[in-house]
Structure 1
Amino acid sequence: MYETIEFEVKNHVAWVTLNRPEKLNAFNEQMKIEIKESLKKAAADPDVRCIVITGNGRAFCSGQDLQSVNEDTDYGEHLRKYYNPMIQQMAAIEKPIIAAINGTAAGAGLSLALACDFRLAHEKSSFIEAFIHVGLVPDSGNMYYLPRIVGHAKALELAILGEKISAAEAKDIGLVTQVIPHDKWNEDVTAFAEKLAHMPTKAIGLIKRYFNQSWDSNLQEVLGKEAYAQKIAGSSYDHREGIAAFLEKRKPLFLGK
């Protein structure tokens, strides 16, 4: 069905796997289109309650395939046509998205990881803001997400110096959620994803929505949005199930609705 990615749904988790291992999963136009389409499919599927993006081979994503651009390429138009719609699709999804970073995440590949809600890093993975090394600036949402995740000063350091950092260093600065050893990689990524998929994902979607909006809101506006969101969450099946499970001293069975 896809040329550059693999897509499957297992136990309420949609797995989107970048599949150009011979190119270190570098982006070409087809891959960007297919990622966006697969995410749209996962967002619309009521059986999907969590999404994982990962890569085949030894890289997560090495960024743009430079063989697919030339001196006549309009980079601004290229972003508007291919990268921006993909990142906007991710931002609109009210389901948890995990980047399972199995290897190198560089340039726009790092941007892809930053646009996810959680970043799980293989112990041998690495991260690099590679744009500066070819005289470009970070893109694909990188300038939005990176300073919000690691802070303004550290984001400037990473973007301007362009130095590679290890998984352990990424964890220390808050760039990744968890570092996973090689021999537990598949097991721990699956467990993390399936844990999220069985949480009250309607509430998770509301949390994502209003956390994102809080950056452009004052306290009074946030208080109003919290009240609105809590009304929705309080009317959900999962809230009723959570209360019932608490009173009955049992584990809740959340359905994401």
Structure 2
Amino acid sequence: MTDNYLDVHIDADVAVLTLNRPAKLNALDVATRVLLAQTIRRFGTGELVRGIVLTGTGRAFSAGEDLQTVPATYDEIREAFATFHDITRAILETRIPVVAAVNGIAVGGASELTLCCDARIGSPDAEYFQPENHRGIIISNASSFLMGRLVGNHAMRIILGSHRIGADEALRIGLLDEIVAPETLVDRAVEVVRQWNSDPRITALHLGLLRPRPEDIEAAFAREDDAARRSWESGAFSEGIEGFWTSKSTPSAPAQRNRDRRR
């Protein structure tokens, strides 16, 4: 039986899609990624709703790839990348605005999937974190193209530096479009969608003009897939994931000192 970690409800003619796995910081397994892309396509025609809002439950937008089900073979890596890429395709194919309501930390692939949304509205707790470069994982979702398109030369330090970017900095450099109070976050995202899509016939045409070209997105996917293959073949991917779990299982120095004092 597959768990469903995606909640869907309609608010004022807007589909609100909520990642709902708070115990795992809304980490995205393959099944959830497939379901998310399917749901975006279902609403994306504009026949049922005027727009889509994507958000998360609890203190995280999403922790990205579920590293407890991390790919163990190159074929599994290809599948993982394909499911991340397809969310980007699904969003960019819609005929209605898609807004990310970033309620908390957005990590890795989840951070990247917000980049193709038409707007990113955050709460003061919104935070971006791209740890892939220090974990042996390759960025996906066409973020190799979309990140630079949004933030220019900040993209290099965000990806290579792998440091956390709080809401204020994200607003300053263009990762977020605005910051609102947590209790009004989804309502504000819904309001933006409705304001933007006053005439669906014209809005759909403008979305096609303003969004990145499909050929640029597909070229980015191809480059990222090739880089993922090289990461796997070099051993960097396996070593990075092993290092991540080792760091999780090894107490930090301060924590270990506190335990020693209690003995």
Shorter-chain TM range is 0.7 to 0.9
Contact 2:81–2:140 (8 Å) recurs in 1: no
* Aligned-residue offset at 1:132: 1.4
The residue type paired with residue 44 of structure 2 is: A
Question: What is residue 114 of structure 1 aligned with on the other side?
Answer: 115
Q: Secondary structure at the match of 1:119?
A: strand
Match in the other structure for 1:196: 196
Deviates more, 1:38-47 or 1:69-78: 69-78
Q: Any gaps of 5 or more consecutive residues in structure 2?
A: 217-263
User: Cα deviation per residue 1:77-134 (whole Å; 9 max; x = unaligned)?
Assistant: 1245412222111111121000000000110011111121100011111101121121
Residue 134 (structure 2) aligns with: 133
Q: Partners of 2:178 and 2:23 in 1: how far apart?
A: 27
Q: Give the alignment of 1:213-252 within 5 angstroms.
A: none
Note if contact 1:96-1:117 (Cα within 8 Å) is conserved in structure 2.
yes
Question: Structure 1 residue 190: deviation in Å?
Answer: 3.4
Taking the aligned partners of 2:82 and 2:138, their CA distance within structure 1 comes to 18
Q: Which amino acid aligns with 2:43?
A: A
Secondary structure at the counterpart of residue 67 of structure 1: helix
Change (3 A) 1:43 1:187: closer
**Cα gap change, 1:5/1:214 in structure 2, threshold over 3 Å: closer, same or farther?**
closer
Out of 87-96 and 66-75, give the one that drifted further.
66-75
Change (3 A) 1:58 1:195: same
In the alignment of these two chains, the number of paired residues is: 215
Between 1:173-182 and 1:37-46, the stretch displaced more is 37-46
Segments ≥4 residues shifted beyond 3 Å: 73-76, 212-217
Alpha carbons of structure 1 residues 127 and 80: separation in structure 2 relative to 1, 3 Å: closer
User: What residue is the counterpart of 2:101 in the other structure?
Assistant: 100
Matching residue of 1:247: none
> Contact 1:126 / 1:167 at 8 angstroms: preserved in 2?
yes
Find the residue that maps to 2:211 and give its secondary structure.
helix
CA contact under 8 A between 2:11 and 2:190: conserved in structure 1? no
Residue 203 of structure 1 aligns with an amino acid whose one-letter code is I
Match of 2:47 in 1: 46
CA distance in 2, matches of 1:114, 1:14: 19
Partner of 1:8: helix, strand, or coil? Answer: strand
Distance (whole Å) between structure 1 residues aligned to residue 82 and residue 181 of structure 2: 37
Specify which structure has the higher proportion of helix. Answer: 2
SS at match of 1:54: strand
Alignment partner of 1:176: what SS? coil
- Structure 1 gap segments, 5+ residues each: 218-257
Mapped to 1, the partners of 2:124 and 2:133 lie a distance apart of 25
Q: TM-score, normalised by structure 1?
A: 0.77
Q: Distance in 1 between matches of 2:29 and 2:72?
A: 16
Q: Which has the higher contact order (CA 8 A, sep 6+)?
A: 2
Give the fraction of aligned pairs with identical amino acids, expressed as a percent: 25
Aligned in 2, Cα 1:35/1:214: closer, same or farther, shift over 3 Å? closer
Task: State the alpha-carbon separation in 1 of the partners of residues 161 and 10 from structure 2.
Answer: 39
Verify the 8 A CA contact 2:55 2:101 in the aligned structure 1: yes
